[in-house]
Chains A and B, each alone.
Chain A
Amino acid sequence: MANSKTVVFKIKRQATPGTKSHWEEFELPWHSGMNVISSLMEIAANPVTREGKATTPITYDSNCLEEVCGSCAMLINGRARMACSALVDKLEQPIRLEPFSKFPVVRDLAVDRNVLFENLKAVKAWVPIDGSYDLGSGPRVTMQEQEAAYPLSRCISCCCCMEVCPQFNEDTGFVGAATISQVRLFNAHPTGAALKRERLAALMEDGGIQECGYAQNCVEVCPKDIPLTRSIAEVGGQVMKQAISDLFKK
């Protein structure tokens, strides 16, 4: 950990979606302020394994490097988290890096998380404005409403919550906590509420909210501390109300 002369990484490599994975080890000189991303950048500048074998730079997703874009999610020492904020001095060595296990691997640490964007389409996660022409001010929103909405709107689509959710797998097709929390956000917006019925209907289909098993791993792992379990409870209640009222309408 802190003050050791070198830092050792064990990185799970996989050349293409179809090939088998294997591990490679890298040893980097320690200096202060290292994080996992800066270490991957160093490896790119000198892609040689600990045994002295020339290899390729690691492929991984990153962009903002400050935990606001959601790109660099991966398993670090078995934990789902963002790589940019994973400080080397706070990690037990050797530091194990693996791609998320529940998403198709593209290469090395980069996975395909498009399923979340497809889910957001399915639940119409937007406010249906009439058009971008000038219609004057929006509806008044109280400070309390804004303070409730803002934490939900900070979701960076990292998919950590889906990675750690036992119900998020191929058998259930569960949408995951992030999508449900976005539904809560848009249903609460004065104009967004126009699509509430359709959003809730989408969450009643296969892979919908009924798949949640209350493991609560999601809220524990969310890098933005979004109150995911509260969102699931709230939206679950909305779904229940709509299902019952539909029953009586039929």
Chain B
Amino acid sequence: MASQPKIIVIGGGLAGLSAVIKIAEMGGKVDLFSIVPVKRSHSVCAQGGINAAKNLKGEGDSTFQHFDDTVYGGDFLANQPPVKAMCDAAPGIIDLLDRMGVPFNRTPEGLLDFRRFGGTLYNRTAFAGATTGQQLLYALDEQVRRYESEGKVTKFEHWEFLSAVLDSNRICRGVCAMDLRSMEVRTFPADAIILATGGNGAIFGRSTNSVVCTGSAQSALYQQGCYYANGEFIQVHPTCIPGEDKLRLMSESARGEGGRVWVPKMPGDKRDFKSIPQGERWYFLEEWYPKYGNLVPRDIATRAIHKVVYEYNLGIDGKPMVYLDLTHIDRKILDRKLEGILEIYEKFVGDDPRDVPMKIFPGMHYTMGGMWVDFTQATNIPGIYAAGECEYQYHGANRLGANSLVSCIFGGFVAGPMAVNYARNLKAAPSNGHFDAERKHQQENNATLMKAEGNENPFKLWRELGDLMTKNCTVIRYNKNLQETDAELCKLLERFRNINLSDRTQWANTSVVFARQLYNMLQLARVIAQGASLRDESRGAHYKPDFPERDDKNWLKTTKATFAPDADEPKFEFEPVDISLITPRPRRYDAVK
């Protein structure tokens, strides 16, 4: 029982830093672990904005409306009370960030400006230029730096979480972590820990996520006994710029300003786009969805593009790409309204979207599923909390745009105080051997990897994992493919045992670090593939042509995966969803709800 609670926060993005701030204010001490310097966390990539029903546009918006939009957008899979609490808290969160100095765009009266985003009819998305996530993250980073200078927070940057330290009663007493430079493995005691490690885009190879978004920490805790919930719910954003290293997001506003999606009608057409006459172009979104055209909701657009490329084999030049064409739009309008995103395309592809249609393709973008938590952000292991994209709490089967930033900050603001209160009532552990035991266990893992004399390269295996998961576990799912995927994942796990690191040095060794992450990714991938295979319905982002309807009678429930170590695979159970506040109704994109 601690007079000054000691909390470890893992991950320094929006969720982690939010928790840190609350803990420091409550008089707790924080050790903050992050693979990268915290202001370089993936939160920095978010562009669109952050939702809150402040109703500053005279529209009669309300937090209940925001709540209803969110639950509806999530296809009724999320437990409703925490979502309502988040929407109720959102206006206060934006005010706080404003006071912290986030340079939100302003109205002529000097108030916060709001714009409209996906899945709602109200202007409730506050934004800071085209880099809202970056600005929010920097504001929290600055506040944490202040607490750091006051001795309340100790940062362990360039360290990676390996596992939780559990005592003989399976209560968490701290963490085991690795210094990514010296490769030192150490344990750190704490009264409670908060996981805030983001999404798992790296499991899909290429995604809009950053390099550190492997889901490795979540997977490690899942292997230690934490439930992982709704793992099968993965958001694929329709318009990303394909790339060798990453899929870079191309904002929805491109279509909002008149951008048109098309492919050449002739398969494998190698002609320059200028030589393809209008009659030989297929504007398939406009043809299939005459009412919404290019602005159908994200999951609809994604499924359409996927179909055109993989079932009709009409990708540009036989490759998985379609055109997002802005060349017919007046250059002055493009410069005035879309400059920021045009700049991204120019910088990374080298072409000017004003002259040449952009080549885009859907890309894995966000992880709705994650660590199972109760309404206090506590996982099923006492002393382990989770906040942010790494947990499953707020977005159900599909996340609305601009809701992620608010859910991360809200989740962190809940987890921090909850962890402190838990710590204040914590009794001492019966014995102390668990720290040494866990440290030795992790050191042995490293040693085994370093000694491995096989012939598989972890980076190559990872490419295969990514291709497999992207092909079979994203947009369109068939049980046969999902089962084959799981079998293939088992083979990859076998091949992992035959790994060879090509770098056995004990300093800043990226190979051993990546190999550990890869193993965890493979284990978590099975949760995704098997969970998807079990859920025989379509809901939100999870779509099975063989089960195309939402099935509330059998499937309005949360998927909970638990790791069975003897079987070395996930086991599944299900839990009813709390729908006490809004009765589920059909989710239709072609009618006002």
Which A residues touch B503, using CB under 8 A? 47, 56-57
- Assess whether B312 is interfacial by the CB under 8 Å rule: no
Q: Does the CB pair B505–A146 fall under 8 Å?
A: no
Listed in ascending order, the chain A residues whose CB lies under 8 Å from chain B are: 15-16, 31, 33-35, 37-38, 41-42, 44-47, 54-57, 59, 61-71, 84-85, 87, 89-90, 106-108, 110, 113-114, 117, 120-121, 124-129, 131-132, 134-143, 145-146, 149-150, 153-154, 156-157, 186, 189, 191-192
B92 proximity list for chain A (CB < 8 A): 134
CA distance A38 to B211 in the complex (A): 12
B residues with a Cβ closer than 8 A to A are 21-22, 25, 36-37, 39-42, 44-45, 92, 95-96, 98-101, 103-111, 128-129, 131, 134-135, 138-139, 142-143, 145-146, 148-149, 181, 210-212, 242-246, 248, 344, 347-350, 413, 457, 459-460, 463, 502-503, 505, 507-511, 514
Residues of the B chain whose Cβ atoms lie less than 8 Å from the Cβ of A141: 103, 106, 110
Determine if A64 and B502 form an interchain contact, defined as CB atoms under 8 angstroms apart.
no
CB-defined contacts of B210 to chain A, threshold 8 Å = 63-65, 69
B101: chain A residues at CB < 8 Å are: 126-127, 186, 189, 191-192
Q: How far is the CA of A128 from the CA of B109 in the complex (A)?
A: 25
Contact B145 A126, beta carbon cutoff 8 Å:
yes
Which residue of the partner chain B has the closest CB to A47?
Answer: B502
| B100: chain A residues within 8 A (beta carbon) | 127, 129
A158 to chain B, nearest CB (A): 10
Pair B348/A154 contact, Cβ less than 8 Å: no
Query: A35 to B460, Cβ gap below 8 A?
Result: no
Q: How far is the CB of B320 from chain A (nearest CB, A)?
A: 13
* Given A45-B463, A84-B245, A142-B110, A64:B40 Cβ within 8 A: yes
B243 touches A106 (CB 8 A): no
Whole-angstrom distance between the alpha carbons of A110 and B110 in the complex?
43
Q: With contacts A38-B243, A107-B508, A134-B96 known, is A153 near B103, CB below 8 A?
A: yes
Other A-B pairs, 5, CB within 8 Å; known A127-B99, A142-B106, A191-B99: A63-B40, A68-B131, A128-B146, A135-B96, A137-B95
| Given A69-B210, A191-B101, residue A121 in contact with residue B350 (CB < 8 A) | no
Q: Which residue of A lies closest to B463 (CB)?
A: A45
Indicate if the CB atoms of B245 and A56 lie closer than 8 Å: no
- Return the chain B residue nearest A142 by Cβ: B110
B22 touches A132 (CB 8 A): yes
In the complex, are the beta carbons of B212 and A138 less than 8 A apart? no
B507 & A107 in contact (Cβ 8 Å cutoff): yes
- A106-B508, A189-B101 known; A90-B350 Cβ under 8 A: yes
Given contacts A125-B142, A138-B95, contact A57 B511 (CB under 8 A): yes
Partner of A126, one of B98, B134, B143: B143
Please tell me if the beta carbons of A61 and B111 are within 8 angstroms of each other in the complex: no
Find chain B residues with CB under 8 A from A128 CB: 146
CB distance from A17 to the nearest CB of B (A): 8
Q: Which residue of A lies closest to B47 (CB)?
A: A68
B505: which of A33, A56, A142 is its contact (CB, 8 Å)? A56
How far, in whole Å, are A108 and B572 apart by their CA atoms in the complex?
45
Q: Say yes or no: A121-B246 contact (C-beta < 8 A), given A65-B211, A132-B22, A141-B106.
A: no
Contact A46 B350 (CB under 8 A): no
Q: Do A68 and B110 touch (CB < 8 A)?
A: no
The 3 closest A-B pairs by CB, nearest first: A140-B110, A138-B98, A126-B142
Closest residue of A by beta carbon distance from B211:
A63
Judge whether A121 and B149 touch: CB under 8 Å. yes
What are 10 A-to-B residue pairs whose CB atoms are below 8 Å? A33-B243, A57-B459, A68-B131, A85-B347, A113-B37, A131-B25, A132-B25, A134-B92, A134-B96, A150-B103
Query: Are A129 and B108 neighbours in the complex by a CB distance under 8 Å?
Result: no
B89 CB, min distance to chain A CBs, angstroms = 9
CA distance A191 to B99 in the complex (A): 8
A70 CA / B37 CA spacing, docked (Å):
10
For residue B128, which residues in chain A have a CB less than 8 angstroms away from its CB?
Answer: 150, 153
Cβ-defined contact, B106 with A35, below 8 A: no
Cβ–Cβ contact A153 & B138, under 8 A: yes
Verify A33–B107 contact, CB threshold 8 A.
no
A118 to B149, CA, bound (A): 9
Given contact pairs A45-B460, A129-B143, A143 touches B106 in the complex (Cβ within 8 A):
yes
Chain B residues near A85 (CB-CB < 8 A): 347-348
Q: A107-B508, A128-B146 are in contact. Are A150 and B463 (CB under 8 A)?
A: no
Q: Give chain B nearest CB distance to A130 CB in angstroms.
A: 9
Bound: A16/B243 CA distance, A: 32
Q: Which residues on B sit within 8 Å (CB–CB) of A41? A: 244-245, 459
Are A45 and B108 neighbours in the complex by a CB distance under 8 Å?
no
Q: Contact: B245 with A35, CB < 8 Å?
A: yes
Pick the residue among A66, A127, A143, A149 that contacts B348 (CB under 8 A). Answer: A66
Answer whether A59 and B508 are a contact pair too, CB < 8 Å, given A33-B243, A89-B350, A126-B143: yes
Let me know if A59 and B510 touch, CB within 8 A.
Answer: yes
